[in-house]
Amino acid sequence: MSTLTPRTPQPRPGDPAISAALIAEHGLTAAEYARVVAMLGRDPTFTELGIVSALWSEHCSYKHSRPLLKTLPTSAPYVLQGPGENAGVIAVGDGMAVAFKIESHNHPSAVEPYQGAATGVGGILRDVFTMGARPIAMLNSLRFGSLSTPRVRYLFAGVVRGIGDYGNCVGVPTVAGEVVFDPAYEGNPLVNAMCVGILREDELIRAVAQGVGNPIIAVGARTGRDGIHGASFASEDLSTATDAKRPRVQVGDPFTEKLLLEASLELIRSGHIVAIQDMGAAGLTSSSAEMAARGDVGVTIDVSKVPAREPGMTPYEILLSESQERMLVVARRGREDAVRAILAKWDLAAAVIGEVIAEPVYRVTEGDRVVAEFPGSQLVTDCPFYTPDAAEDPAVRAARLTDVHAVAPRPEERDPAWTLETLLASPTIASKAWVTGQYDSSVRSNTVVWPGVGDAAVVRIRGTSRALGLKTDGNGRYTYLDPRVGGRIAVAEAARNVACVGARPMAITNCLNFGNPTRPAVYYQLREAIGGMGEACRVLGTPVTGGNVSLYNESPAGAIYPTPVVGMVGLIDAFNHVTRSGFRDDAEAAIVLLGEPTDELGGSEYLAWIHGVVAGAPPHCDLAAERALTDALLAAIRAGAVRSAHDVSDGGLAVAVAECCIGNAERLVGADLDLSGWSSLPLRALLFGEGQGRIVVSTTDAPVVLAMAGERGVPARQIGTVRPAAGELRIAIGGTRIAVSLARLAAAYHGAIPAAMGPAAVVQAAEEPTAAGSLV
């Protein structure tokens, strides 16, 4: 586009010479390096090598996933901003919009759990408020190894404290999430954080640099030597040498974040700025290059003007630092003082460090000296994309084809109550009050349904009569056994969960946690899982508005389970549709099962926790049936016929019903179930199989619920009665009678994680304030 000859940057004194070893250390292949040389028409300087290394890292470039991500549906009439921005945005009526995004911080959390998790929260908050949105809710999705090892307990405790301390201080409620424990995550925990913000549609701002002559301003914390090359670190396998990379983990300062949040929203509303972006992964480099590329403009940055935390920082360090709580702003020319005044109010520093230029280059200077220069937007657009070989691991195929019904029951299983109690004590199923009790869920006074009280969180949109249903979901074990089915179920389960609180599923953000994509078995998982998610999103009408890909989640112990996580946003049209999951103790009610039990047992928590077996085909996921199911449930909720709704997932039907009975430790509610209609199914599949597309509803208006289901072709049957005073859960299946005291089940369910974490860790069950205006 231009014949302009770039000024040739010269190496700085002290720069290491470019060598094959240095190139490899920067994570570039020989072919990628050749591409850089071709782009520049010369060898890069050390500084330029660092820039390319960061922007072409997997984390920033999505080079192994973008061709697959392009197959996902991204549009709907209400999608205001799809993938490619800091966060996706959807309209929710009354001129209001919701910005939301999920992101991983897996690698940092593996080496420094507290700061790794805290800065993960900080980063995703910034992604949302840079869209002009006020953050109103945080969610997370966590995976750890077995709680029986001290290392995992350390990681678990540190991550939870890190998430809590950051979000609590900034004043954004953490309202929902999921925590799963499985040995597959032993050396490589997953920490995915999601932020949801609210804005008026006309306040939406995009990170697009525009306007020649407009100043580029660095805002917020000073730039230090922390987190240099964090993006590249996140793009390689974890190894035994990983702990030595702890200095690549950044340190979070939630107080500064809070100031930055308020100042940024004030700046955006002031009209003094045209664009704003977080200096996140790859810091100043990626924020400036991406904003320039989106606007198709040139920029020049003078690193000597960047406020540094310490003297003597090189351009390389300043450009690649991932110091937290920094933003890059493109202001309108002449408004610099007005911008400074707003920041000064919040005691934040601002420095003009560059400007938008007409010349199509990405240029970095140190004073007058050019230290890096790339033509046009090629730095961003020339990154290579890969479609590696894909092939299923034969061992996984064999595991899937295993006949899990042949797994011999343990002797204790002669008493199904033992199995139920044991499953309720599985840390994956057990109450997470130990976790959520460390989060401030009530700040801003919008949280209608607290963690653990409903299948999803409900957060009211102030000033309207609407609320959001929010949830994260994903099942790595299913995805390992059958990635396409796992991808489908991640979306379908999230949709079910938000429907259970009365919300219509609207859109998702996704976080794809996988291993090393250059291995054919991993690329196969990635391709299939994304394919499955796309199918589900199309049928369920929930486009993908953005997300994050985290690859190279491998430790010396091997790859994690491929774990696609879905963050779902649903919309509740009226407050009286808000529905909780537990049975209510004020009256007897019919228990109706929407959907149909199956003989499926593969991939279940039952097999994993009771037998240590990860095998069999994960449950079939019929997407049309899932759509009909959520439609039927929402129709019944809108008709006022539903007192509680809880989806059947980990642990199957028996666990789902038990959770309805004992979820609230202070108010145990009994139930009688009669499952004799399915007595021909294997007992453990009926009780603990995880067949999809099922929801347990309690109702005093069963005919309405059954009619709503019938109209949509959803199998539905009354399977029992809520008995508030019974003190027991009783299940009849033909001649088999199971009766188990609620106190015993509750002790297992509420005690498991506190017991694993030690006596000092005992936290009473997080409990919602008693609803005065009773909502159905």
Partner 1 sequence: MRFGIVTFPGSNSDIDAYQTVVDGIGEEAVMLWHKGHDLGGADVLILPGGFAYGDYLRAGAIARFSPIMREVRAFADGGGRVLAICNGFQIACEAGLLPGALVRNAGLKFLGRSVRVRVESTGTAFTNAYAPGQVLRLPIAHGEGRFVADQQVIEELEGEGRVVMRYVDAAGDPAPEGNPNGSMHNIAGIINAAGNVFGLMPHPERAADALLGAPDGLPMFESLVARVAA
Tell me how far apart the alpha carbons of residues 268 and 252 are, in angstroms, rounded to a whole number: 24
Cβ at position 164, least distance to partner 1 in Å: 5
Please pick, from the candidates 80, 96, 443, 704, the single residue that binds partner 1 as defined by CB under 8 A.
443
Cβ at position 508, least distance to partner 1 in Å: 26
Catalytic residue among 59, 107, 229, 577: 59
Cβ-Cβ contacts under 8 Å for 612 (sequence gap 6 or more) = none
CB closer to partner 1, 347 vs 368: 347
Paired tokens of 38 = 């071709």
Q: Which residue has the tokens 């917020």?
A: 220
Q: Does 736 bind partner 1 (CB under 8 A)?
A: no
Q: Which stretch binds partner 1 (CB under 8 A): 185-193, 343-351, 372-380, 556-564?
A: 343-351
Q: Which stretch binds partner 1 (CB under 8 A): 299-307, 537-545, 608-616, 768-776?
A: 768-776
Cβ at position 263, least distance to partner 1 in Å: 10
Q: Does 258 bind partner 1 (CB under 8 A)?
A: yes
Q: Does 755 bind partner 1 (CB under 8 A)?
A: no
Kindly report the CA angle at 756 between 751 and 758, in degrees rounded to 5? 95
* 3-state SS, residue 371: strand
* Amino acid identity at 347: D
CB atoms within 10 A of CB 469: 33
Tell me how far apart the alpha carbons of residues 39 and 125 are, in angstroms, rounded to a whole number: 35
Tell me how far apart the alpha carbons of residues 49 and 43 are, in angstroms, rounded to a whole number: 9
Is 105 catalytic? The answer is yes
Q: Does 751 bind partner 1 (CB under 8 A)?
A: no
Q: Does 516 bind partner 1 (CB under 8 A)?
A: no
Tell me how far apart the alpha carbons of residues 497 and 503 are, in angstroms, rounded to a whole number: 9
Tell me how far apart the alpha carbons of residues 155 and 204 are, in angstroms, rounded to a whole number: 37
Q: Which of residues 76-115 bind partner 1 (CB under 8 A)?
A: none
Tell me how far apart the alpha carbons of residues 459 and 444 are, in angstroms, rounded to a whole number: 10
Cβ at position 736, least distance to partner 1 in Å: 36
* Amino acid identity at 207: A
Could you give the residue ranges of the DSSP H alpha helices within 243-310?
A: 254-270, 283-295
Catalytic residue among 26, 64, 105, 646: 105
Q: Does 767 bind partner 1 (CB under 8 A)?
A: yes
Q: Which of residues 302-321 bind partner 1 (CB under 8 A)?
A: none
Q: Which stretch binds partner 1 (CB under 8 A): 307-315, 435-443, 626-634, 741-749?
A: 435-443
* 364, 493, 543, 709, 768 from 499: Cα distances, Å: 50, 10, 16, 14, 20
Tell me how far apart the alpha carbons of residues 662 and 660 are, in angstroms, rounded to a whole number: 6
Q: Which residue has the tokens 């108010």?
A: 667
Question: What φ, ψ does residue 483 adopt, rounded to 5°?
Answer: -60, -35
Query: Which among 517, 430, 527 is positioned nearest to 479, based on CA atoms?
Result: 527
CB atoms within 10 A of CB 776: 18
Q: Does 436 bind partner 1 (CB under 8 A)?
A: yes
Sequence length of the chain is 776
Cβ at position 285, least distance to partner 1 in Å: 28
Q: Which of residues 130-189 bind partner 1 (CB under 8 A)?
A: 161, 164-165, 168-171, 174
Q: Does 476 bind partner 1 (CB under 8 A)?
A: no
Please pick, from the candidates 440, 535, 605, 659, the single residue that binds partner 1 as defined by CB under 8 A.
440
Q: Does 442 bind partner 1 (CB under 8 A)?
A: yes
Q: Does 762 bind partner 1 (CB under 8 A)?
A: yes
- Helix, strand, coil % over all residues of the chain, rounded to 5: 40, 25, 40
Q: Does 446 bind partner 1 (CB under 8 A)?
A: yes
Please pick, from the candidates 283, 437, 689, 693, the single residue that binds partner 1 as defined by CB under 8 A.
437
Q: Does 126 bind partner 1 (CB under 8 A)?
A: no
DSSP-derived secondary structure for 68-86: HHTTS----TTEEE-BTBS
Paired tokens of 708 = 């709503």
CB closer to partner 1, 297 vs 459: 459
Q: Does 200 bind partner 1 (CB under 8 A)?
A: no
Cβ at position 114, least distance to partner 1 in Å: 13
Cβ at position 125, least distance to partner 1 in Å: 13
Please pick, from the candidates 41, 71, 213, 255, the single residue that binds partner 1 as defined by CB under 8 A.
255
Q: Which residue has the tokens 């390689």?
A: 236
Please pick, from the candidates 146, 270, 402, 438, the single residue that binds partner 1 as defined by CB under 8 A.
438
Q: Which stretch binds partner 1 (CB under 8 A): 95-103, 286-294, 445-453, 734-742?
A: 445-453
* 3-state SS, residue 626: helix
Cβ at position 324, least distance to partner 1 in Å: 13
Q: Given the rule CB under 8 A, which residues bind partner 1?
A: 161, 164-165, 168-171, 174, 253-256, 258-259, 345-347, 433, 436-448, 460, 462, 575, 666, 760-764, 766-773, 775
Write out the catalytic residue numbers.
Answer: 59, 105
